[in-house]
Structure 1
Amino acid sequence: MTKEFFDIFDADMNHMGVAERNEVHQKGYWHKAFHCWFYQIENGVLNVLFQKRQHDKDTHPNLLDITAAGHLTAGERPHEGIREVEEELGIQVQMDELESIGVISASYTGDTFIDNEFCYTYFYHYKEHMEKIIPDPVEVAGIYRIPFHQMEGLYNGSLKSINISGFEYKNNQLTSLRTDVELKDFVPHPSNYYKVIFDKLSKINKVLST
């Protein structure tokens, strides 16, 4: 497997050098990432698209996560991260179609890794059918669509579980599915990260209801 190298930073985003991916996550160096959230509006309902991470990912396997995301490798600039959309979802998107919501500092400590990221975060209004997304089976196990009001219910505790629709690879074929999920089935991004995401989604939803 080809090794990945990331630019590393201190908590104030001062550049410290370059390190290999495993070292970055072992020592908790700050590094940069590209995050792109897809949303859809259907019959007046705001939906958010989540990818399901593959079972063999080194972090958060089998969990639901940002529609398309990835680390910026050494020397890459934030806008170059848009390659993740095509690599993971099989569709082309241009930077001028995305809405930037800034850089979010996100820190998470797992059992075997420390992930400190400066997340260059974007939203994309996806207007095609979800079935036009052909996820890369190496990276992504499937795609699910979740109404925003149900996500709010999970995160504020008013709902313990929700039933969601999407598709996953089964025997190398994309298969439509419905499944029940709980909060534990989502990547545990820190609360400050999700607050920014939910605030943005709430503004979009408010416009729909006026």
Structure 2
Amino acid sequence: MSILEEEMLAVFDENHLKIGEQSRDIIHRQGLWHETFHCWIVHLEEGIPYLYFQQRSNVKKDFPNLFDITAAGHLLAHESVNDGIREVEEELGLTISMEELQPIGMIKDTILQGEFIDNEFAHTLLLIAEKFNIAFHLQKDEVSGIFTSPLSEVVRLYDKKVDRISLQCITSYNKEVSQIGVTLKDFVPHGIRYMKEVLNSIQEKGEEI
């Protein structure tokens, strides 16, 4: 997400009541609650849902090279959830509308790494894509590649029934990569509760289609 540290985000208490505004840098240092936009992309292939992950660029300040939500970013203090749709176009080069997204819900998500404390009210949405090989146009300083795996395999990984799964490369700046084995340490450490709620919701929506 191309947002400068000086730009202001709304600050909330744990009940999602707005209590002020602060810079993103201070929010992450103090662990203040704020809002984000998360868009997960899934494709159904012969009834099997495949989940797409972005690989964060190696120049990112936070979590370089790790696999993450297909597209996501912070909402600025003056923005609504609908404004978050820009993240999909900025990071992935996809032009879509909010009407194409299915809401999963607003989910609390906490990411901890040293002095970095990311407490998010994540407005989480799902895009069910018609094509497997989506025409992504990646923003190089944000995203280095897009990878996918059957949703069932991702669920098994987060349930710790397996230690490793394979991700298939859809597009990447590393032209030599076609498939890669990954463990949980290769993913941005979103809260397990957040991930399980997202994965369960995607499973349920996939079964409805």
What TM-score, normalized to structure 1? 0.91
Structure 2 equivalent of residue 105 of structure 1: 108
Unaligned 5+ runs, structure 1: none
Does residue 157 of the first structure (1) align with residue 169 of the second (2)? no
CA distance in structure 1 between the aligned counterparts of 2:70 and 2:60, rounded to whole angstroms? 15
Structure 1 equivalent of residue 151 of structure 2: 148
Kindly report which structure 2 residues correspond to 1:1-210, keeping only aligned pairs within 5 A, or say none. Answer: 2=4, 3-166=6-169, 167-170=171-174, 177-207=178-208
What TM-score, normalized to structure 2? 0.91
The runs of at least 4 aligned residues of structure 1 exceeding 3 Å deviation read 204-208
The sequence identity of aligned pairs, in percent, is 36
CA distance in structure 2 between the aligned counterparts of 1:31 and 1:130, rounded to whole angstroms? 34
Give the match's secondary structure for 1:81.
helix
CA distance in structure 2 between the aligned counterparts of 1:201 and 1:168, rounded to whole angstroms? 25
The one-character-per-residue Cα deviations of 1:46-68 (angstroms, maximum 9, x if unpaired) are 10000011122222221111101
The answer to whether the 8 Å contact 2:138/2:145 transfers is yes
1:120 positional shift = 0.4
Count, aligned residues: 205
CA distance in structure 1 between the aligned counterparts of 2:206 and 2:105, rounded to whole angstroms? 20
Unaligned 5+ runs, structure 2: none
Give the match's secondary structure for 2:58.
coil
1:5 positional shift = 1.5
1:161 positional shift = 1.1
